[in-house]
Amino acid sequence: RCELSNRTGMDSETLKRAFLNNLFYVQGKFPALATTNDYYMALAYTVRDRLLQRWINTAATYTELGSRTVAYFSAEFLMGPHLGNNLINLGIYDQVEQGMAELGLSLDELQEEEEEPGLGNGGLGRLAACYLDSLATLDIPSLGYGIRYEFGIFDQDIRDGWQVERTDKWLSAGNPWEIARPEWSVEIKLGGHTEHYTDDHGNYRSRWVPDQVVKGIPYDTPILGYQTNTANTLRLWTAEAPESFDFRSFNSGDYLGAVYEKMISENISKVLYPNDDSSQGKQLRLTQQFFFVSCSLQDMIRILHGQNLPLENFHKKFAVQLNDTHPAISVVELMRLLIDHHQMDWEQAWTITHQTFAYTNHTLLPEALERWPIELFGSLLPRHLELIYEINQRFLDEVRIKFPDDEERMIRMSLIDESGERYVRMAHLACVGSHAINGVAALHTELLQKDVLRDFYEMYPHKFTNKTNGVTPRRFMVLSNSQLSKLITSKIGDSWIKNLKELQQLEQFVDDAGFQVEWRRIKQHSKTELATYIQNNNNITVDPDSLFDIQAKRFHEYKRQHLSLLHIVTLYNRIKANPDIEITPRTFIFGGKAAPGYFMAKLIIKLINSVGNVVNRDPDVRGRLKVVFLKDYNVKLAQRIYPAADLSEQISTAGKEASGTGNMKFALNGALTIGTLDGANVEIREEVGEENFFLFGLTTEEVYHKRAHGYRSRDYYHTNAELKLAIDRIASGFFSQGDAELFRPLVDDLLNQDQYFLFADYASYIACQDQVAAVYKDQTKWTRMSILNAARMGKFSSDRSIEDYCRDIWKVEPVNVELRQ
């Protein structure tokens, strides 16, 4: 009884006892010798014990019922720290905080100790994590399938203002949240060639003879829903050399050869590619994609057989969502498994396959659309290339029937790009092999239909739907902004946490002076905490009464961090021209990583730090402007940032940001948005009301129009005096100790290309920022707008997104899990 309650009891006394027990028996330490990491590990195991009970009951329930299951295939899962989130979802955060305090420990400090699993680049990976939280919270049977990268997204250092990358060793202190399942390892084939033969029934068949075999080992992490017994699974694959390989080479005496091959095999899951845009056609990347997809599909077939279900039911048992085209090779791999391994005929295999998969597109940038050189593809996956040719032939026959005598269309739509060097087009493969295709915001889906996937929309209009992104209020409100969450709960009860639309009830308090004071006090508290963090990390003193103006996201020219820089330099120029000018004090905060090979993005980071070095120290400024670059932006830091923001910068060129999800997290925490009509900004503005949103800039159509009619950025430079002054200041070397060369690539690009229309949007942006500054002076008005923003963000819960996917695409129902032991 005591043993059991040590592992499951939820009261603060039992939790303390269990914690000390784990410290002794798992970490092998007693308090006098224990490090912070020992304490963190002991607490993590204490929490994990409570998860295990729910996890096992969930698995048992699904197995018994043979429940229809969602499989979310994603090359990235940007989970963020597990400890705090699990405490929230278990409903024991306050008890544990209390218990730790009684032992003289700070729960905040223990949470700080966790190395977050940064197995993603940005929005796409974090969306996958929010969706797993919502799937579990909504009691939907589901599995996340991906790669257990040994090195996740790099850690970012800043040296002399430049980004420097360091490897992310997130596993070095051990990972208490995962359990290896070597008994469910699978084998993956790579390379080699195909052979053709006639089978016993006289059918012409193909056989893959690979030249390499690797083993995939699954590691499982429980994903607990909020206030439910459902604990689903995130299953990530690690690559290893198969044991048989050692054995073979040992026999042939080539020991070093065997070790070398082992090393090559293990490379597959070594490192996350740190790009979030251009696909560079690297063989290892395609290997990673095929590796996790093949492991996962084989695992699903094992599960199906384990439940005595026939293979013909694959699409009835599983709905697979493809998170962008990174797992799109699934379409071909499932066909191969069904046809080559299970002797299914083509028609039936194809019916099962396209009814299984659905594809989410996350980008409109043409350079980000994945394509693989045929040579490379065929050398790694020779059998898959054959199957793609066959899929393509049948597909183009359909196109020909629907659109006769339209050779151009066939060339555009083919799965193979033959305009120069030949490529496999992964987005086309995903469209053909899926029964549903979706964009991630209303505008994005519309642009997919009109532009990027227009031919596919004309061919298969019924496949297309919009699924606007959402974010989880558990991590991004309850955990990260506990004071605001408690204030809200004190007014409207706590059911908003599972039903975010209920935030609307806050509107009744918008003119309640007492509520406004509380709302402001909490924002002020979060700003003060961030100010302390900035003091400790950047050694910059910032004023918590100033307007906190924040842009936190990956660095990319289309996101236009440098447009915000032009605003900063403009304000600085105004001060230099008239030091007594009346100006709303602002703290500009940036955070984000640049892809290591993206020169311009790294130069923009350098420019932020360079401008900061001048502005922060200039006595004429009198502390009214501060510029801060927070290094190593990740989920942990994001959780500190959102609650402290007054103004959220969502300023991408219209038509470029598929959705954005940071925009949602800021607004939910009461920040006002300055933004373009891009991605989900459009819908956020619709929800919060245009009077509560700072809109500027060209629309998508205006951008297209300008581009088509010859955009000349230089004309804006010559006709806008403040713009000219800002550019000249940067170009002169003023921010680079007189070095006029340093920022020349950036300045030249803006004057000559400016493909993201900064100059065209500059005047509108500056005017809008002047509006922002004016409104901020009226704190009552600002607070009203802030409350209304949070109150009207209900639509952007990832629970709503998941409900939409469940109803329209996956056709899957909740399954209730009872605790039986």
Looking at 115, 116, 261, 657, which residue binds ligand 26M (CB under 6 A)? Answer: 657
Q: Does 117 bind ligand 26M (CB under 6 A)?
A: no
Binding mask 467-506 for ligand 26M (x = CB under 6 A): --x-------------------------------------
Looking at 57, 121, 185, 472, which residue binds ligand 26M (CB under 6 A)? Answer: 121
Q: How far apart are CA 75 and CA 329, in angstroms?
A: 12
Binding mask 127-166 for ligand 26M (x = CB under 6 A): x---------------------------------------
Residue type present at position 658: A
Total binding residues for ligand 26M by CB under 6 A?
A: 22
Closest approach of ligand 26M to the CB of residue 75, in Å: 7
**216 vs 660, beta carbon nearer ligand 26M:** 660
Looking at 279, 321, 472, 546, which residue binds ligand 26M (CB under 6 A)? Answer: 279
Q: How far apart are CA 522 and CA 691, in angstroms?
A: 24
Q: How far apart are CA 359 and CA 74, in angstroms?
A: 11
Q: Enter the tokens of residue 199.
A: 């089978």
Spacing of C-alpha 68 from chain mean position: 26
- For 655, list phi and psi in degrees, rounded to 5: 95, 0
Q: Does 273 bind ligand 26M (CB under 6 A)?
A: yes
Number of helices (H), then strands (E), belonging to the chain: the values are 34, 25
Which of the following is catalytic: 54, 463, 553, 556? 553
Q: Does 653 bind ligand 26M (CB under 6 A)?
A: no
Closest approach of ligand 26M to the CB of residue 72, in Å: 13
Q: Report the relative pairing of strands 464-466 and 436-439 from DSSP bridges.
A: parallel
Q: Does 276 bind ligand 26M (CB under 6 A)?
A: yes
Closest approach of ligand 26M to the CB of residue 638, in Å: 14
Residues 6+ apart with CB under 8 A from 631: 156, 157, 158, 537, 591
Q: Report the relative pairing of strands 416-417 and 423-425 from DSSP bridges.
A: antiparallel
Which of the following is catalytic: 126, 523, 559, 656? 559
**273 vs 395, beta carbon nearer ligand 26M:** 273
Which of the following is catalytic: 48, 215, 362, 586? 362
Q: Of the listed pieces 17-25, 161-169, 362-370, 792-800, which binds ligand 26M according to CB under 6 A?
A: 362-370
Q: Does 124 bind ligand 26M (CB under 6 A)?
A: yes
Q: How far apart are CA 122 and CA 117, in angstroms?
A: 13
**271 vs 621, beta carbon nearer ligand 26M:** 271
Closest approach of ligand 26M to the CB of residue 446, in Å: 15
Binders of ligand 26M in range 394-453 (CB under 6 A):
440
Closest approach of ligand 26M to the CB of residue 178, in Å: 23
Using CB positions, name the residue nearest to ligand 26M: 123
Q: Does 557 bind ligand 26M (CB under 6 A)?
A: no
Looking at 95, 142, 449, 659, which residue binds ligand 26M (CB under 6 A)? Answer: 659
362 part of the active site: yes
**62 vs 292, beta carbon nearer ligand 26M:** 292
Taking a C-beta distance cutoff of 8 angstroms, is the pair 152, 159 a contact?
no
Q: Report the relative pairing of strands 69-73 and 155-159 from DSSP bridges.
A: unpaired
Q: How far apart are CA 453 and CA 362, in angstroms?
A: 12
For 192, other C-beta atoms within 10 Å of its C-beta total 17
Residue type present at position 801: S
Query: Exposed e or buried b for every residue in 499-530, given b needs 16+ CB within 10 A?
Result: ebebbeebeebbeeeebbebbbebbebbbeeb
Q: How far apart are CA 550 and CA 571, in angstroms?
A: 16
Instruction: Find, among 798, 764, 796, the residue nearest to 675 by Cα.
Output: 764
Closest approach of ligand 26M to the CB of residue 674, in Å: 17
Q: Of the listed pieces 234-242, 363-371, 424-432, 514-522, which binds ligand 26M according to CB under 6 A?
A: 363-371
DSSP 431: H
665 part of the active site: yes
Taking a C-beta distance cutoff of 8 angstroms, is the pair 810, 322 a contact?
no
Q: Does 466 bind ligand 26M (CB under 6 A)?
A: no
Spacing of C-alpha 542 from chain mean position: 30
Q: How far apart are CA 547 and CA 586, in angstroms?
A: 5
Q: How far apart are CA 320 and CA 801, in angstroms?
A: 16
Q: Enter the tokens of residue 340.
A: 């080559």
Closest approach of ligand 26M to the CB of residue 329, in Å: 13
Instruction: Find, among 100, 88, 98, the residue nearest to 50 by Cα.
Output: 88
Taking a C-beta distance cutoff of 8 angstroms, is the pair 70, 223 a contact?
no
Looking at 84, 146, 382, 679, which residue binds ligand 26M (CB under 6 A)? Answer: 679
Residues that bind ligand 26M in the complex, under the rule CB under 6 A: 121-124, 127, 273, 275-276, 279, 285, 362-363, 368, 370, 440, 469, 657-661, 679
Q: Which residues are catalytic?
A: 362, 553-554, 559, 661, 665
